[in-house]
Amino acid sequence: MSTQNALLTILVEKIKNDTLVLPTLPAVALKVRKAADDPDINLNQMGDVIGQDPSLSARMIKIANSAYMGRAVKVTSISQAVTRIGLRQIKNIATALAMEQLFVSKNELVGEYMKREWNNTVEVVANAMATLQLYVARTKNREMTIDTMTLTALVHNIGVLPILTEAERHEEVFASPTFLDDAIDKLAPRIGGSIMQSWGFGDNFVTVAERWHDLAYIPEKLSYVDFVRVGAALAGQINNQKDAILNLAIQRGVVEDVNSLLSDEFAEMRSAAKQIFA
């Protein structure tokens, strides 16, 4: 057995035995999610929670003033931003903004992978958000929300993190591009589902993390996974399957035709979505 296969086996065993160290949500995201789940919380109290983190506060104000929110009048305080965004969206948006903190490493090779994965993820998110916005504008169907779409797309490939963390811990044997690419391809979906469960996220998030890359899985009803797939295909994240994914998206009514994804309207929506993470 090659060294790479042996290390892959070790990772698989850790998954089976629940000994693989999974990432935890940043503290600020946990605080916001806990506060948002409190049925008695109001906008002012939520503003106080977010205000404890200057970086998150600044990002929230930026989002409130962005094309994403579609408003012309600028807000200048976190209380105004929270009021504009609303309690329902804040939980997912705050979690999404905190996600970037997880994609860091002191190891040079692993750090490059982390940076690449984060940048790729933002591309998928922007594409998926813009695709959903076009869908809603065309169908008037609002069952799926843009804030949940944002977070779902952000965690679609979250399973890469424990693999890269393991490589950082044992860089002398794990930190090789060949091994990392193989491990990510084979194990990231399974690990991603485990992370979503450990974070207490819903079934939609687990399904997306585990099945977004598997075209044999077609949900009975249109779901977030359909939009994540389009986002990933446009970002070049699903090898040699772009045409198949886009054709499936047209068949399922995700998009009207491929030209809509090449339109100025789509490009503007995608750019506005990407600015959230700039």
Q: Report the CATH number at residue 112.
A: 1.10.3210.10
* Local confidence band at 25 (pLDDT 50, 70, 90 cut-offs): confident
Question: Does residue 49 sit within a domain?
Answer: no
pLDDT at 1: 46
Is 62 within the bounds of a domain?
no
Residue 29 lies in a domain: no
Q: pLDDT at position 185, please?
A: 86
pLDDT at res. 68: 67
31-50 pLDDT, tens digit each: 999 998 898 999 889 999 99
Question: Between the CA atoms of 33, 99, 12 and 178, what dihedral angle is there, to the nearest 10 degrees?
Answer: 170
Report yes or no on 243 lying in a domain: yes
* 70-103 per-position pLDDT tens digit: 666 788 899 988 888 888 788 888 888 888 889 9
pLDDT (average), residues 115-123: 94
Residue 155 has pLDDT above 50, yes or no: yes
Which is more confident, 89 or 254? 254
**145: domain range?**
3-22+103-275
Mean pLDDT of 192-214: 92
| pLDDT tens-place string over residues 215-234 | 999 999 999 999 999 999 99
Share of the chain above pLDDT 90, in %: 48
Determine, yes or no, domain membership for 89.
no
Secondary structure of the chain in HEC code, one letter for each residue: CCHHHHHHHHHHHHHHCCCCCCCCCCHHHHHHHHHHCCCCCCHHHHHHHHHCCHHHHHHHHHHHCCCCCCCCCCCCCHHHHHHHHCHHHHHHHHHHHHHHHHCCCCCHHHHHHHHHHHHHHHHHHHHHHHHHHHHHHHHCCCCCCHHHHHHHHHCCCCCHHHHHHHHHHCCCCCCCHHHHHHHHHHHHHHHHHHHHHHCCCCHHHHHHHHHCCCCCCCCCCCCHHHHHHHHHHHCCCCCCCHHHHHHHHHHCCCCCCHHHHHCHHHHHHHHHHHHCCC
pLDDT greater than 90 at residue 3: no
Supply the pTM of this predicted model.
0.87
Number of domains in the chain: 1
Higher-pLDDT residue of 177 and 155 is: 155
Residue 80 forms part of a structural domain: no
Report, as an integer, the average pLDDT of 17-28: 84
Is residue 33, in this structure, part of any structural domain at all? no
Any idea what the Cα angle at residue 218 is, between residues 265 and 116, rounded to 5°?
60
For the chain, what is the mean pLDDT? 88
Domain membership of residue 140 (yes or no) is yes
